[in-house]
């Protein structure tokens, strides 16, 4: 699909689409020095990340649902319903980045499938989303029945409901979908570690670690032990237990 040509020129400086602006420097630190790589910003919003990447000399393209919201000239924009399909060829990008989009989409499965489809073999996918497995978020769910990704009941009559966190996703679900569609998790980090999660983690980590191993690594699950060990590894990762935002890095297998 050719870049959109019917949008206006820049109407102002784009802003990030997240209330956690320290996500951006963390994601940027994960990119290689090679500026010749091709990057897709999936769910680009106004184009803040695209603007930063373009200014740093990277070759970047954007896709999102509303082309009229995109404010960056010189960056190819592709209109896409991210719960359906991305109108780009297979194996196109060295890095595909999606910042704080997953929790707004109805169809995680199709989205991650499409992201990996357009990633080159050996290329990388970076996904960020609110961390619903932090000790703070788990405590919030225990008390109120809601993770702190969406800590209050949503308004079912809101027309632009997709602006809310309608569909939080946990790290094991991300891991399953990445592996299902030809990738592997290679790194996990966060924008910041929550002070409110430290004490519960210190107190409960031994119990959680033992409980997961007892539940998952029984002899009757022997055929799934490799899969279960990967889940244990990432669930017990400090970024998972303490982090405010999940920043998952996956590699598309050859």
**Cβ neighbours, 10 Å, residue 76:** 17
The pLDDT score that the predictor gives to residue 11 is: 56
Nearest alpha-carbon partner for 131 in 17, 248, 243? 243
pLDDT at 251 over 50: yes
pLDDT at 202 over 50: yes
User: For 248, phi and psi rounded to 5 degrees?
Assistant: -100, 135
Task: Please provide the DSSP assignment of 104-139 as one string.
Answer: G-S-HHHHHHHHHHHEEEEEEEEEEEE-TTSHHHHH
Nearest alpha-carbon partner for 244 in 80, 108, 118, 131? 131
Rounded to an integer, the average pLDDT of 104-129 is 97
Reduced 3-state DSSP string for 73-106: CCCCEEECCCCCCCCCCCCCEEEEEEECCHHHCC
Ordered domains of the chain (ranges, CATH): 23-195+243-252 (3.40.50.150)
Give the separation between CA 245 and CA 237, rounded to whole angstroms.
Answer: 13
Per-residue pLDDT tens over the stretch 15-37:
777 778 899 999 999 999 999 99
pLDDT at 7 over 90: no
Percent of the chain with pLDDT over 90: 90
| CB 95, CB 183: distance < 8 Å | no
pTM: predicted TM-score of the whole model, two decimal places: 0.92
The pLDDT score that the predictor gives to residue 20 is: 86
């Amino acid at each position: 699909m050719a870049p959109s040509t019917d949008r206006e020129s820049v109407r102002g400086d784009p802003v990030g689409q997240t209330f956690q602006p320290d996500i951006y420097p963390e994601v940027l630190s994960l990119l290689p020095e090679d500026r010749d790589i091709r990057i897709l910003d999936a769910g680009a919003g106004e184009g803040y990340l695209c603007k930063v990447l373009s200014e740093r000399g990277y070759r970047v393209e954007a896709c999102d649902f509303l082309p009229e919201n995109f404010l960056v000239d010189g960056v190819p924009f592709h209109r896409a319903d991210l719960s359906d399909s991305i109108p780009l060829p297979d194996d196109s990008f060295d890095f595909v980045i999606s910042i704080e989009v997953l929790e707004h989409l109805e169809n995680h499965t199709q989205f991650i499938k499409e992201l990996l489809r357009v990633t080159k073999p050996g290329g990388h996918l970076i996904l960020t989303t609110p961390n619903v497995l932090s000790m703070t978020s788990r405590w919030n769910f225990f008390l109120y029945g809601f993770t702190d990704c969406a800590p209050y009941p949503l308004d079912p009559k809101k027309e632009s409901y997709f602006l809310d966190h309608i569909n939080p996703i946990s790290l094991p679900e991300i891991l399953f979908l990445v592996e299902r569609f030809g990738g592997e998790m290679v790194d996990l980090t966060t924008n910041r570690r929550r002070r409110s999660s430290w004490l519960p983690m210190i107190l409960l980590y031994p119990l959680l670690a033992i409980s997961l191993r007892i539940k998952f690594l029984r002899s009757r699950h022997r055929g799934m032990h490799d899969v279960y060990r990967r889940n244990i590894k990432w669930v017990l990762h400090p970024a998972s237990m303490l982090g405010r935002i999940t920043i998952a890095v996956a590699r598309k297998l050859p």
